[in-house]
Amino acid sequence: MNPVRDQNFMFYVYVLKSSIDRKWYTGNTNDLRKRLRQHNSGQSTWTKRGIPWELIYYEACLNEEDARSRELYLKSGMGKRYLKNRLKRFLSLTG
């Protein structure tokens, strides 16, 4: 098993930013490229109003439960502060 090459063994926590209203969406998946396509084609109820979405951050986990826990953390107040601090250079460039 090669976790870097075999997508089926990785779980991703990701953050998207809407190009329309600049809102953020945090989620998890085991196929990041496919999920981003789904968001941008309007297949997700929660994100179809913000199309197009840009992937601004992701983390890879070997365990689905870890990815879900991390998603919940990133959606919390402390997690949002973590992301803003982690992405401060990117955010200063994009406004």
Q: What is the CATH number of the domain that holds 59?
A: 3.40.1440
In a domain, 1, yes or no: no
In a domain, 82, yes or no: yes
Please name every residue paired with 26 in a beta bridge, in sequence order, or none if there are none: 15
Tokens standing for 59? 């983390």
pLDDT > 60? residue 7: no
pLDDT tens by residue, 42-89: 999 999 999 999 999 999 999 999 999 999 999 999 999 999 999 998
Rounded to two decimals, the pTM is: 0.86
Closest C-alpha to 57, from 12, 6, 4: 12
- Using CB atoms within 10 A of its CB, is residue 50 exposed (0-12), middle (13-18) or buried (19+)? buried
E strand segments, the chain? 11-18, 24-29, 53-61
pLDDT > 80? residue 1: no
In a domain, 2, yes or no: no
The count of domains in the chain is 1
Q: Which domain holds residue 19?
A: 7-94
